[in-house]
């Protein structure tokens, strides 16, 4: 039945009111003439309302005449009348059509590009190259040749081992996999020397293969050969071997930090203002008001306001929050300054240490001046300094 209803909606139908003394006869005649009527309701003792297809309306006249009843159209419904109405409201129709077309058009462009999977490469760099190759915000999806862009980017960025461009709605996701940088492999069969990675005094040298050039207690410079893989003996041919050795040495690390006693700190006063700006594509719409504070920091948040699942449109609401800050001059005591500079020095030291390093001795000297404190750190470290270096075949 629903198919018939749908058909009737498409063809258009009318709600009629039939009045007469012989309503039943009217209904019977209608169906025997092949007129489909539905939703018949009794209105009063002598009248009914019913729905009838438009195309059958002409046939009704005869029946009406034969049954001595009158017929009034109360309402016209269905697609043809909707169309007629739309024709009357041309401007409205045009607007709706324009909207539909605009949404459709917007859907077929790319409005957002995201780079995922980068580890050491700056995603911005990937983005830039991807942009150069034609994947930009505002590019039509149909025009994109993903394969060729992927290939070109791979050629331009040799650090990448794989790139995949996926389009999800209006967003393009560029997924990259970086090549793992392989260390220069020196195979067991390759001849090599062992050189010093750092300057220091040899603490212990244990040569497993090759000729030890230095002894315990020797002062070595960075880059100096510790164990030679070139073995020269009298009466035999010179051989090249793969050197193996454990070389630990005492090395030194020095650093300094100066800390002013007069410090300026910024404190949040708790007062803030929020400004809203609408960003469409790259243009920011909105009033840029002057911030009523002398010192402030800015917290910026961007939010996509029109998005349907993966279909994101380039309309963003940007809220900028300005927190007022106030300068608080602070005079550090000498002890405080010492403590702070020591903390900084220690932090930097941690970054310098290699994995198996042992700190033997740590000294911090302070030079207290009128307005500042200078801290100098010197650390004695016991660490492995041997590094293999390939012997270039002549």
48 binds another protein (CB under 8 A): yes
The CA–CA distances, whole Å, from 382 to 13, 50, 171, 211, 369 equal 96, 101, 53, 23, 33
Angle of CA points 232, 237, 241, to nearest 5°: 60
Distance CA 58, CA 213 (A): 116
Distance CA 178, CA 213 (A): 41
Distance CA 376, CA 394 (A): 47
Distance CA 349, CA 357 (A): 12
40 binds another protein (CB under 8 A): yes
Distance CA 50, CA 54 (A): 12
Q: What is the DSSP letter of 324?
A: E
Nearest distance from C-beta of residue 42 to another protein, angstroms = 5
Nearest distance from C-beta of residue 12 to another protein, angstroms = 18
Nearest distance from C-beta of residue 73 to another protein, angstroms = 19
| CB nearer to another protein: pick between 40 and 391 | 40
| CB nearer to another protein: pick between 34 and 187 | 34
Nearest distance from C-beta of residue 60 to another protein, angstroms = 15
Distance CA 93, CA 86 (A): 6
Among positions 16, 18, 27, 259, the unique one binding another protein when judged by CB under 8 A? 27
Nearest distance from C-beta of residue 66 to another protein, angstroms = 15
Helix (H, G, I), strand (E, B) or coil at 342: helix
Nearest distance from C-beta of residue 28 to another protein, angstroms = 4
Q: Smallest Cα–Cα separation from 131: which of 168, 169, 157? A: 157
Nearest distance from C-beta of residue 45 to another protein, angstroms = 8
Of 23-31, 155-163, 183-191, 197-205, the window that binds another protein (rule: CB under 8 A) is: 23-31
32 binds another protein (CB under 8 A): yes
| CB nearer to another protein: pick between 31 and 281 | 31
Nearest distance from C-beta of residue 35 to another protein, angstroms = 10
Q: Contact at 8 Å (CB) between 159 and 178?
A: yes
In order, the DSSP letters of 54-72 are GGGHHHHHHHHHHHT-EEE
The β-bridge relationship of strands 244-260 and 262-280 is unpaired
| CB nearer to another protein: pick between 48 and 247 | 48
192 binds another protein (CB under 8 A): no
Q: Identify the helix (H) or strand (E) that includes residue 384.
A: strand 372-384
| CB nearer to another protein: pick between 31 and 73 | 31
71 binds another protein (CB under 8 A): no
| CB nearer to another protein: pick between 47 and 224 | 47
Of 36-44, 184-192, 219-227, 293-301, the window that binds another protein (rule: CB under 8 A) is: 36-44
Among positions 38, 92, 162, 276, the unique one binding another protein when judged by CB under 8 A? 38
The CA–CA distances, whole Å, from 42 to 16, 39, 53, 103, 107 equal 12, 10, 19, 47, 51
Residue ranges in contact with another protein by CB under 8 A: 1, 23-24, 27-28, 30-32, 34, 36-42, 48, 50
């Amino acid at each position: 039945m629903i198919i018939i209803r749908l058909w009737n909606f498409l063809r258009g139908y009318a709600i009629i009111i039939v009045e007469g003394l012989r309503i039943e006869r009217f209904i019977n005649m209608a169906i025997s003439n092949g007129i489909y009527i539905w939703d018949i309701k009794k209105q009063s003792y002598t009248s009914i309302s019913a729905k009838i297809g438009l195309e059958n309306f002409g046939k009704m006249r005869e029946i009406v005449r034969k049954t001595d009843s009158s017929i009034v159209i109360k309402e016209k419904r269905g697609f043809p009348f909707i169309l007629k109405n739309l024709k009357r409201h041309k401007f409205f129709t045009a607007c709706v059509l324009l909207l539909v077309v605009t949404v459709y058009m917007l859907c077929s462009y790319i409005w957002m590009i995201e780079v995922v999977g980068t580890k050491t490469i700056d995603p911005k760099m990937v983005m830039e190259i991807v942009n150069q190759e034609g994947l930009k915000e505002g590019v039509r999806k149909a025009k994109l040749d993903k394969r060729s862009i992927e290939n070109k980017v791979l050629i331009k960025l040799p650090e990448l081992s794989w790139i995949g461009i996926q389009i999800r709605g209006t967003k393009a996701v560029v997924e990259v996999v970086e090549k793992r940088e392989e260390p220069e492999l020196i195979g067991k069969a390759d001849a090599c020397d062992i050189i010093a990675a750092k300057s220091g005094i040899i603490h212990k040298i244990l040569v497993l293969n090759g000729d030890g050039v230095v002894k315990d207690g020797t002062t070595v410079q960075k880059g100096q050969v510790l164990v030679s893989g070139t073995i020269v003996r009298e009466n035999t041919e010179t051989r090249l071997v793969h050197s193996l050795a454990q070389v630990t040495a005492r090395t030194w690390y020095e650093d300094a930090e100066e800390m002013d006693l007069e410090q300026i700190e910024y404190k949040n006063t708790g007062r803030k203002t929020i400004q809203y700006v609408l960003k469409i594509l790259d243009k920011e719409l909105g009033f840029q008001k002057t911030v009523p504070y002398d010192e402030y920091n800015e917290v910026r948040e961007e939010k996509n306001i029109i998005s349907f699942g993966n279909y994101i449109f380039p309309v963003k609401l940007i809220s900028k929050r300005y927190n007022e800050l106030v300068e608080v001059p602070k005079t550090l005591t000498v002890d405080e300054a010492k403590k702070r500079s020591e903390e900084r020095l220690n932090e930097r030291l941690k970054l310098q240490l290699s994995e198996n390093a042992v700190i033997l001795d740590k000294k911090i000297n302070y030079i207290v001046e009128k307005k500042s404190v200078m801290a100098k750190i010197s650390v004695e470290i016991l660490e492995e300094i041997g590094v293999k270096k390939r012997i270039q075949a002549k």
